[in-house]
Amino acid sequence: MLSIKNSDKYEYVIKNSKFISLIFRVYNKDEVNFYLDKVKNEYTGATHYCYGYVIDNDIKASDDGEPSGTAGNPILKQIQNNNLNYTLIVVVRYFGGTKLGAGPLTRAYARVSREVIKKDNIIELVKGYDIDITFNYNDIKNIDYLLGDSTIINKIFDKDIIYNAHVTKEVLDSLSNYNVKIKKEIFIQK
């Protein structure tokens, strides 16, 4: 499955209206609401905060007061055309005093949504696990080897060593001889 690596931004001005598109990776509605609130607080006084997102089968678009179908759907279509999941695009519009009309307005929202999706920012996500692995000091080299390119979030050196790491299913299987606690399923970059 494809998603984005980093949040990004793109700006476009047409007939004095300023469009600012922002893209975020999100995993649930709480994160969508968090970013919508953050954008509204950062870009105060905007006329519209339109958006679209895809989180598995949860797909939504909002025109936020623009004529029906001219904002949310073009935003959502760009996410879907790039086969992105766990992706939110918010487009902030500051009205410049000239009405654009439905066609140009739809094209403006499509353009800023398309431009904020940069090909070098698209990544493949795979199912993974957030784990804690506890082992003794004699096993550190072997554990480091088995983890390979996995992301180690935290290391605790006490009586035993505890790593908190994000691993793929294959790495998890290779650690079966060790004391591994799966905290939760996650998605990680392939």
Domain boundaries, the chain: 2-117, 125-189
C-alpha distances in Å from residue 24, one per residue of 51, 79, 138, 150: 11, 11, 42, 23
* pLDDT reported for residue 97: 85
Region 125-189: CATH code:
3.30.70.240
d(CA 80, CA 185): 24
Residues 6+ positions from 3 with CB-CB distance below 8 Å = 25, 84, 85, 86, 87, 122, 123, 125, 187
* pLDDT reported for residue 122: 93
Taking only the tens of pLDDT, the chain with its 190 residues reads 899 999 999 999 999 999 999 999 998 999 999 999 999 999 999 999 999 999 999 999 999 999 999 999 999 999 999 999 999 999 999 998 888 889 999 999 999 999 999 988 999 988 899 999 999 999 999 999 999 989 999 999 999 999 999 999 999 999 999 999 999 988 888 7
d(CA 20, CA 7): 13
* pLDDT reported for residue 186: 87
pTM: 0.80
* pLDDT reported for residue 62: 97
* pLDDT reported for residue 104: 93
* pLDDT reported for residue 96: 87
* pLDDT reported for residue 36: 97
CATH architecture of the domain with range 2-117:
2-Layer Sandwich (3.30)
